[in-house]
Structure 1
Amino acid sequence: MKKKGKAKQRILQASFGIGLILFVVLIELVAVHPSGIYSYTQQGYKEFKIGLSKEKVLKKINKRKTIRTIRVCDPDRVFELKSRRLFEMEVNLASSDYWLCPDRTGKNFLFLFRDEILERILLQRLRFGKKKEGSILFSQCNPEIINDVEKYLTTIEKLKVFYDTDS
């Protein structure tokens, strides 16, 4: 009698474990964003709203504890936080229209400005095993690519691109 009870308990434990694994896989498929590049031109992404000035975007970056580096293009320069001090608007930061910001959570931001106003946000999300397959858009300051981002995204980019447009 005791052996039957233990066997039922083992079967129950195994089925609970398998059910839990299936639940995790389901959440992974449904709830987690797929790998790719997300382009925001309408509203923006969370607190980063399209139409903000560079100073306001920098304030929003300073509120995010996960962004510790800003790389600017043209002039090519890297700003890195090494203490509790926040980013300050410096000449090179103010003069650049392209800010690359890697996030500690695995996302990479590319802020594109026109006339000192945030025009577009590109967000790269990579899944766990695909960290090395990222776009060169988020690792290099190539003026040819950055000046015509839309052409690059539609013709050359290998990652899937998701747009926030209504159509």
Structure 2
Amino acid sequence: MAYKNKTKQRMLQLSCGFGLIFFVVLIELVAVHPSGVYSYTQQGYKEFKIGFPKAIVLKKINKRKSIRTIRVCDTGKVLELRSRKLFELEGDLSLSDYWICNDRTGKDFLFLFKKGDLDRILLQRLRYGKKEGSILFSQCHPEIFKDIDKYLATQEKLDVFYDTSSEEKK
């Protein structure tokens, strides 16, 4: 009798374990963003809102503890936090219209400014160990940034996701 109860208990444990694994895989497939480049031109991304001036965007970057580097594209200079001192909007950072930020959580940001205000955010998400990302987030190409829509439509290797419908985009 005791042997039969232990067998039933073991079967119940195994079925619960397999059920949890199935549930985790289902969440991973359905609820997590796919790999690709995300373009935000309407509202923005989380705390980074379209239309914010550079000073406010930099303040929001400083609040994100996972962003420790900013690459300034106009001069190619890389600003890196090595202490508790925050990024300051001066020199190259205030003059540049293109900032690339690498987030330690696996996201990469490209902030595009027009006349000192945030015009577009590109976000790169890589999943499942994909190491090769877009050149937009590893190299500075101001000539590409000037006609970013053309580049995203014709040359980008990763999937591109927009925050607007395809009818609005055209």
- TM-score (ref. length: structure 1): 0.96
Is 1:5 the counterpart of 2:5 in the alignment?
yes
Comparing 56-65 and 141-150, the one that deviates more:
141-150
AA of the residue aligned to 2:139:
Q
**Matched position secondary structure for 2:93:** helix
Matches of 1:157 and 1:116 in 2, distance apart? 27
Aligned to 1:147: 146
Matches of 1:158 and 1:144 in 2, distance apart? 18
Aligned to 1:81: 81
How does 1:107-146 map onto structure 2 within 5 Å?
107-130=107-130, 132-146=131-145
Q: For residues 47-103 of structure 1, what are the alpha-carbon distances to aligned partners after superposition, in whole Å with 9 as ceiling and x for unaligned?
A: 111011111111111111111110010111100000011100121001111000011
1:133 to partner: Cα distance: 2.2
1:147 to partner: Cα distance: 2.1
AA of the residue aligned to 1:119:
D
Matched positions, count? 166
Aligned to 2:47: 47
For structure 2, the residue ranges without an aligned partner over 5 or more in a row are none
State the identity as a percent.
73
**Matched position secondary structure for 1:71:** strand
Matches of 1:145 and 1:90 in 2, distance apart? 25
Which stretches of structure 1, 4 residues or more, deviate above 3 A after TM superposition? none
Matches of 2:33 and 2:141 in 1, distance apart? 27
Matches of 1:152 and 1:3 in 2, distance apart? 67
Matches of 2:128 and 2:60 in 1, distance apart? 27
Matches of 1:151 and 1:91 in 2, distance apart? 30
For structure 1, the residue ranges without an aligned partner over 5 or more in a row are none
AA of the residue aligned to 2:127:
R
Matches of 1:129 and 1:55 in 2, distance apart? 34
AA of the residue aligned to 1:118:
L
**Matched position secondary structure for 1:6:** helix
Aligned to 1:98: 98
**Matched position secondary structure for 1:68:** strand
